[in-house]
Structure 1
Amino acid sequence: MLVNADFSQRVIVSSRQYQWVASPQAGIERVMLDRAGEEKGRATSIVKYAPGSYFPRHVHAGGEEILVLAGVFSEGEEHYGAGWYLRNPPDSSHRPYSEEGATIFVKLHQMPPHEQCRVRINTRDASIWRRQGNNEICPLFSSEFEQVWLQYLAPYESMLVKSVTGTELLVLTGGLAVDDVAHEHGSWMRLPVGDELEVTAGKQGATLYIKTGHLRGALMGL
């Protein structure tokens, strides 16, 4: 299956364009933002768990990255509310479920084989946010392969995104304008290597998930 699988092209998916499709597991549906392969292929998705739904235990050969957007997402006896950021390294396994329901942002099969770092960060902990110039930054992960962070833009603040190594943005709160088109929270953007884009926060500001560096491997089919 191929969905937005040409990583040399810019892609913008507004939350108003979401197309929810059923997953192989009852009670779980998803919006496919990009995909290259079948169930165990490279994928970026918004996934919604109905109350009481689950996936059977399975292994993620290429790792899994999760940001909990709403509700409570669970693995075993560990429960993560909105704002938690998780990384499960390659060849890790789990049985994910949600008793009350949850919506998560998920990236599958996008980690290098040598990565062994298990990450759990509560981004709603104000102590881990840092002031960087006019911006507020919450660092999530950094390696020679990629960098991931959250960034808050004040109302009507503009930012030029220079996608030197490829960049992804997910609007978590507020909204962004791109070329005078408004994109509400939940909107997702992928900029190819060498692209650049100016974005402007709306009247409520905007909190963004930002990821860079990882698209170089996608262009080479890794």
Structure 2
Amino acid sequence: MLINADFSCRAALAPEHYQWVQSPQNGVERVMLDRVGAEKARATSIVRYAPESNFPHHLHPGGEEILVLSGTFSADNSHYPAGWYLRNPPTSGHQPYSHEGAIIFVKLWQMTVDETEHVAINTNDAANWQAQGGREICHLYSDIREEVSLQRINVGEVLFADAIAGGAEILVLEGTLIDAGQTYQSGGWIRLPVDATSQITAGANGATVYLKTGHLSQIIGIDAQ
């Protein structure tokens, strides 16, 4: 399966165009943002858990990155309300579920084998935010390949001042972003290729975004199926 699988091209999806697809597990649906592969795939998705839904225990050979968007996402005996950011490294495993229901942003099979640490950050904690360059930034993860953060963008501010050397991926969490005349509200997703230039700006109420940069300069994935 190939969805937005040409990483040299811009890709985007506004929430009003979501198409929810049933997963192999009852009560769990997903919106596929990009995908290379079948059920075991390099994939970026929005995943929705109905109340009292679950997945059986499974492994993530290529790692898993999660941002909880609403509700409470649980794994094994740990519970993560909206705002928690998680990284489960390659070869880790868990049994995910949700008692109350949850929506999460998920990236699968996109980590290098040398990433070994679990990450769990509560982005609702003000102590995790810092003022930087006129913005408020919550740093989530950084290595030589990528940087991940949440950022609060001021009204009318341009998201990127320069060309994006390693590509970028944006998920709107609050407010709006405007790109080439298209307004992206909460849930809007944009992927920009390596060395792209962009005039993405924050809308009338500003915006809070998930932002990953650098990761598209060396795609980590599995063969398409």
**1:166-177 equivalence runs, <5 A:** 166-177=167-178
CA apart distance, 1:175:
0.6
SS at match of 2:197: strand
RMSD of aligned alpha carbons: 1.4
How far is 1:157 from its partner?
A: 2.1
Q: What's the counterpart of residue 218 of structure 2? A: 217
Q: Secondary structure at the match of 1:155?
A: coil
Q: Partner letter of residue 112 of structure 1?
A: T
Q: Find runs of 4+ consecutive structure 1 residues off by over 6 angstroms.
A: 219-222
Q: 1:108-187 counterparts in 2 under 5 A?
A: 108-160=108-160, 162-187=163-188
**Secondary structure of 1:6 counterpart:** coil
Q: Is the 8 A contact 2:69 2:105 kept in 1?
A: yes
Q: Structure 1 pair 220/31, CA: closer, same or farther in 2 (3 Å)?
A: closer
8 Å CA contact 1:137, 1:150 repeated in 2:
yes
Deviates more, 1:151-160 or 1:127-136: 151-160
**Contact map agreement 1:8 1:219 (CA 8 A) in 2:** no
SS of equivalent residue, structure 1 residue 215: helix
Identity %: 55
Q: Deviations over 1:147-173 (max 9, x none)?
A: 100110122222226321111000010
Is 1:85 the equivalent of 2:93? no
Q: Secondary structure at the match of 2:160?
A: strand
- Which structure 2 residues correspond to residues 1-222 of structure 1 after superposition, within 5 A? 1-160=1-160, 162-218=163-219
Work out the CA distance in 2 between the residues paired with 1:149 and 1:14: 21
- For 1:159 and 1:217, how far apart are their aligned partners in 2? 23
> More strand by proportion, 1 or 2?
1
Code of the residue aligned with 2:182 in structure 1: it is: V
Pair 108,3 (structure 1): closer, same or farther in 2 beyond 3 Å: same
TM-score for the superposition, normalised by structure 2: 0.95
Amino acid at match of 2:128: I
Q: Specify every segment of 5 or more residues in structure 1 that has no aligned partner in the other structure, as ranges.
A: none
- TM-score calculated relative to the size of structure 1: 0.96
Residue identity in the other structure for 2:44: T
